[in-house]
Structure 1
C-alpha cells in the first residue's frame, strides 16, 4: 500500500472554460462567439493567490485535454468533429480527441495552446498550489485521432485488427461488419446550429463499442454515444473474461501519455470511472509512474463500496470519491429528508470505508452533482454549513470545493445540451453568474457579491484555513462522541458530535442539522478527560467565530447553544 500524503489535500475544482468567462449572454445553445469562453490566461496570478488564500492546496483543472467540439478550428489545422457525435456546442471534456493536446477553446493563441497551459502550471506552482488534471481511461471521443503525439508514438487503434470483436492486441472493441448508427433523435447544437456535417450520420466502419459498455452498433441518445470504449484485455461478451497474460499495447500507450503530462509539471490525476477498467491496470501503472514521480497523486472516481479496498490496497490509489457514502448521507440531512439521521455518517466510516477512511475524498459539489443552492438540492447555499464542516473535518483525507460553490451558485436554467437540472453545464459555452460576481471582470476581488455571498465565502475560507492549519483537524485521530451522549435528554439524531485530536491539540466538532437551535450539555468520556489532563473549570474557543464557551466543571459537561444548520469547532 502506498503511504498516505502527510498533509491534508484541500482541492479547488474549476473548469477553465467556465472559470474565466466574463461573458454574461448565456444564450441557449449559444456559440463560443455568442457566449464566450474562459482561457488559461484568465486564471491569473491574482486569481490563484485568492484561491490559495482560501486555504486550498491543489487545483483540479477540469476539461484541459483536447476534446470533440462543434466549434470549427480547421483554420488552425484541427480537423472538425462531426456534431452528430458531440454533446453540446462546446463538447464534453470527457470525450477526449487527443491525449497529447489541450483544448483550443482555452487558448488566446490557438497555435500556442500547449505553452499557455504550461504557463498556467508555472503560475499555479508559483502560487504555492499543485496541479491536478483529468485522466479518462475508459473511453475516448469517437473522432479520436492524435496529431500532437510525439514522433514514433503509435496512435490508438493504429495496429488494430478490425475484423476481431476483441483482439487481445487491439486498443478498441469492434462490432464486425456493422456500420455505426448515430442516435436518430439527437439534434446537435440545437435548431440554430448549421453544419454540413450535421446530417444524422457518422461514418464508422466497423462500428466500435460505446464507452458505457454498449456492444452494438446503435447506442441510444441516453448512452455515451459520443465515445468509444478502450480495450484493457477484458472481453465483456464472454463473461468479462480477461486476457492479461501479457501487458496489452494500450497500457504502454497510456503510460507514455501520463508520463508526458507528469514531465510537464502535473502533480496528480483525477481518474474518471476507474471501476470500468480492470484493477490490474491500476496495479501496473500507478507503481510504475510513482517509481519515477514518487509524489504523484492518484484520485479515483469510484461508486462501488465493495471494491474500494481493492482499488486502494491492490490498485495503488491514494484517494477515492466518497459519494455513495458521506456525500449521500450529508445530502439527505441537508435537505431534511424524512428518516435522515446522523447515524448514517457513523455507518460511512464504521462500515462502508472502515480501514480505508483516510483515503476518501469528501465533497458536497462537483461537476457531476447538483448545486447546493439549486432548487433540486437545498435551495439555499447556507444550508450546507453543517455538512461542509463534517465534509472537511471528518478525517485526514482530502476535501474538495467546486468553483462557484463558495458563493452559492444555483445553476438556474437550461443551457443547451445540459438541461435545467441544477448542474452547471460542462457541455455548453456558458457563464456562471454568481461566480462572475466574485470574478468582477477579471479583478477577482468579489466586488459584485452581495453581503451574504461575501459572508458565505468568508465561511468557506475560515473553515478551510482552520483545517489546513490545525494539526488535529488535518492529521489527528478521530473519536465519535455520539454514544457517550445518546442517553442525554437533549440528544437527537440530527446532531453529529466527534473529537479530532493529537498529543498537542484537541478539537470537538459539533454540527446541528436541525432547522432549530439546540441547547446541549456535551459529555466527554472520563477516560479522555484524564488522558488530556482536563478537570474542573475550563474554557473552550470556537475556531470559526472566536467565541469562548466556559464550563464550571468539564466532567459535568460543556454547555453549548448551537444555531440551526450550523456547527462549532471547539478547541479544548
Structure 2
C-alpha cells in the first residue's frame, strides 16, 4: 500500500527485537505451481468511461461483485489462474452516503480519495457497500461471489491489514459478544498491553497540514470537509507517527494497532523458543494454547477465522513486517489448524526478515519485490543487467518456493506507464523469467494482460498507477471486458496479442512438471563462452524426470543471434547422452529447434527477435542420432 521509505518510520518501535539465528535448512517441498490474479474489485466491472478527476460514484461509476459473472470467471480461469485476490473487499472508508443502510458517513479530512483507501478498514465484519447492487445485502452478494469463484475451480483471497485500521473504525456488523477495536481501551495512558491503540494523552488529533495544493475531494463542498476530525485523545498514526498532528505523507487516515510492543520497542508477550522456526504449525498452535496474549491478537485471529468460515481460502496481509512475528505464529497456526491449505501471503520488504516470517510466522508466501522485482524492473528500463539474476535465485534457494513473483500490483507502476517501461511489450521477457524461474506462485494484476498504462489524473491517485483511491474506469481493461462479454471484442490488435501471450505462458506454467522441479542457470557459462550473448539475455534450465525445459529470453528491442551452450554439468544434470534432441517452443508451438549433445556438451543455434523468449521443451530425436 505504501513506499519503502515509510517503513523506516516504524523501525524504532521494534529496535529491541532479538536477532534470530538460522541454521541451514533444506528447501521446503512445493505443493504446486499457483497463479494469483489480483483484481481491484471496484474497478473490474466498471464500464463507465467518464473518468472525471475526483468524480463521484454516479459520475465515474463503480464495479460490483455481480460483474464477476460466470463468463468473466471462465475467462480469468483460462489464464491458468488458481487463486483470485479480490482487493478492497473489507468495508473501508468511502465518501458516498450510505446512512440509509445504518452506515455512518466518513470524513474527507481523513479519507484518501473519494472512493477511499482499501487499507483504511472501518468494519472487518462486512464488505464495501460500493461493491453491492443492494448495499443492505452486500455480505450475501460477496458470499455468492465466493461460491461462483469456487464453482469455476479457483480459490478466494482477501486483504487483512493487521498493522492499522481506519481512524473511525466502528463495526456495525460484528457478531454478538465481539467488542470493537479500542472499545475497552484505557485512553488515559500512552500504552497498556491490552489496549488496541497507542494514545497521546492530553492532546486532540489535528488534521495534517495539506501540501502541494491538495484539498480533500479536490475542493468540492462536503458537510464534513472542515479541516477537523474529532479524536481526543489523539492516537498514533498507522505508520507509527506519534504526533497528534501527523504529516501529509504519513498514513494519517489510519491508526496503528498495538500488539503488546511497548513504546520503547520491548515486548510485552512471550517469545518463541530458540530454534522454534523448525517446528510445524501444529507445534506453534500448541505453544500458544496456555499463553496470555494481547487483546489485539485475539481480535484479528477471530476476524480471519470469521472469513474462513464464510468460504474465503486465504489472505494477503498488508505490511506484515510492522507486526511482531510472534503474532503471526499465533494467528497463522490457528488458521492452518482450521484449514491446512489456507493461502497466506504477506507484504514483507526486508530480506533479513524473510525466513523469520516464513518459518516462525508460518507465512506461505512473501513478496519478492526488493530483489527479483526491482532487478527485473531495472533490466526492463534498460539500465539493469541480467548478470544480477543468478545471485538473487541462489540467495533465496532455500525459500524460493515461498517468494511470490510479480511485475505489477496495486502499489507498483504499470509496466506500460511512462514512469516504468513505456511499453507493455517490455514486460514479456521479464514475465517469462518471473513465471518460470522458480516453483513459487506467479501473480498478475488485472489489466496487465492487455497492457493497461494506468495513466490519467483521477484525483488522489498516481498517474502511473491505476488509482486505488478514486472512482474510475480502466480503459484497456474495459476494451477487453467488452461490455461484459469478456472476449476482448474492443481490444486493439496489440492488446489481443499481449493477452494471448499471458494466457499461453500462465496456462503452461500450471501444467508443467518441470517448473515444479529443479533449476540450473546457464547464463553465467554463456556470458563467458558464447559470442553475441550479452547481459540483456538470460537463460536457465528446469527439469523434473523426463520433463526438461530450456528457457531463453531477450530483454532488448534488438534481435539476438548466438549458439547457446550447455556445459558438462548441465548436460549431466539433465541426464542427456550424446545425440540430437528436438525442442518445441511452448510459447509458439510452430517453432522447433534441435539441440546437439556431443562429447558431453550441448549446443543450440538460436535467433531471438527483440523482446522474444523461448520456453523449449525437449524430446529425443532418435532418428537424427546417426
2:197 corresponds to: 172
Considering only aligned residues, what root-mean-square deviation do their CA atoms show, in Å?
A: 1.4
Which one of 479, 482, 495 corresponds to residue 453 of structure 1?
A: 495
2:66 corresponds to: 41
Deviation string 1:132-188 (CA, Å, 9 cap, x unpaired) is 110101000001001100011111111110011011110000000100000132521
- SS in structure 2 opposite 1:101? strand
Task: Give the whole-Å Cα distance in 1 for the aligned partners of 2:616 and 2:577.
Answer: 14
Please say if 1:261 is aligned against 2:311: no
Which one of 588, 595, 599 corresponds to residue 545 of structure 1?
A: 588
2:375 corresponds to: 329
Confirm or deny: 8 A CA contact 1:172 1:229 kept in the other structure. yes
Unaligned runs of 5+ in 2: 1-24, 271-291, 619-626
Please say if 1:490 is aligned against 2:532: yes
Please say if 1:32 is aligned against 2:60: no
Please say if 1:349 is aligned against 2:399: no
CA displacement at 1:491 relative to structure 2: 2.5
CA gap 1:553/1:282 in 2 versus in 1, 3 angstroms: closer
- SS in structure 2 opposite 1:483? helix
CA gap 1:4/1:73 in 2 versus in 1, 3 angstroms: farther
Which one of 185, 192, 216 corresponds to residue 188 of structure 1?
A: 216
- SS in structure 1 opposite 2:344? strand
CA gap 1:556/1:73 in 2 versus in 1, 3 angstroms: closer
CA displacement at 1:29 relative to structure 2: 0.2
Confirm or deny: 8 A CA contact 1:212 1:229 kept in the other structure. yes
CA gap 1:523/1:163 in 2 versus in 1, 3 angstroms: same
CA displacement at 1:538 relative to structure 2: 2.5
Deviation string 1:236-262 (CA, Å, 9 cap, x unpaired) is x31x11111430011111111000000
- SS in structure 2 opposite 1:125? helix
Deviation string 1:457-485 (CA, Å, 9 cap, x unpaired) is 00000000111111102x11101112332
Which one of 231, 241, 247 corresponds to residue 204 of structure 1?
A: 231
CA gap 1:442/1:349 in 2 versus in 1, 3 angstroms: same
How is 1:456-495 mapped onto 2 (pairs within 5 angstroms)?
456-473=498-515, 475-485=516-526, 486-495=528-537
CA displacement at 1:550 relative to structure 2: 2.2
Which one of 112, 119, 124 corresponds to residue 137 of structure 2?
A: 112
CA displacement at 1:552 relative to structure 2: 5.1
Confirm or deny: 8 A CA contact 1:529 1:535 kept in the other structure. no
CA displacement at 1:553 relative to structure 2: 4.7
| Aligned residue pair count | 564
Task: Give the whole-Å Cα distance in 2 for the aligned partners of 1:267 and 1:208.
Answer: 33
Which one of 371, 375, 382 corresponds to residue 425 of structure 2?
A: 382
Unaligned runs of 5+ in 1: none
Task: Give the whole-Å Cα distance in 1 for the aligned partners of 2:584 and 2:196.
Answer: 59
1:215 corresponds to: 242
Confirm or deny: 8 A CA contact 1:183 1:219 kept in the other structure. yes
CA displacement at 1:348 relative to structure 2: 1.3
Task: Give the whole-Å Cα distance in 1 for the aligned partners of 2:116 and 2:531.
Answer: 56
Task: Give the whole-Å Cα distance in 1 for the aligned partners of 2:173 and 2:29.
Answer: 35
Task: Give the whole-Å Cα distance in 2 for the aligned partners of 1:480 and 1:28.
Answer: 48
CA displacement at 1:514 relative to structure 2: 2.1
1:73 corresponds to: 98
Deviation string 1:107-131 (CA, Å, 9 cap, x unpaired) is 0001000000000000000011100
Task: Give the whole-Å Cα distance in 2 for the aligned partners of 1:552 and 1:183.
Answer: 67
Confirm or deny: 8 A CA contact 1:499 1:507 kept in the other structure. yes
1:233 corresponds to: 260
Which one of 318, 331, 334 corresponds to residue 288 of structure 1?
A: 334
Confirm or deny: 8 A CA contact 2:520 2:570 kept in the other structure. no
Which one of 440, 465, 469 corresponds to residue 397 of structure 1?
A: 440
How is 1:85-104 mapped onto 2 (pairs within 5 angstroms)?
85-104=110-129
- Range moving further from structure 2, 193-202 or 359-368: 193-202
CA gap 1:556/1:355 in 2 versus in 1, 3 angstroms: closer
Confirm or deny: 8 A CA contact 1:97 1:143 kept in the other structure. yes
Please say if 1:434 is aligned against 2:476: yes
Please say if 1:535 is aligned against 2:594: no
2:349 corresponds to: 303
Deviation string 1:173-232 (CA, Å, 9 cap, x unpaired) is 0000100000132521112x2221110000100001000110110101111000000000
- Range moving further from structure 2, 121-130 or 551-560: 551-560
Task: Give the whole-Å Cα distance in 2 for the aligned partners of 1:535 and 1:30.
Answer: 67
How is 1:354-369 mapped onto 2 (pairs within 5 angstroms)?
354-369=397-412
Please say if 1:123 is aligned against 2:140: no
- TM-score, normalised by the number of residues in structure 1: 0.97
CA displacement at 1:355 relative to structure 2: 1.5
CA gap 1:560/1:336 in 2 versus in 1, 3 angstroms: same
Confirm or deny: 8 A CA contact 1:16 1:43 kept in the other structure. no
Task: Give the whole-Å Cα distance in 1 for the aligned partners of 2:202 and 2:596.
Answer: 82
Which one of 511, 525, 529 corresponds to residue 567 of structure 2?
A: 525
CA gap 1:108/1:5 in 2 versus in 1, 3 angstroms: farther
Please say if 1:13 is aligned against 2:47: no
1:413 corresponds to: 456
CA displacement at 1:4 relative to structure 2: 5.3
- Range moving further from structure 2, 30-39 or 2-11: 2-11
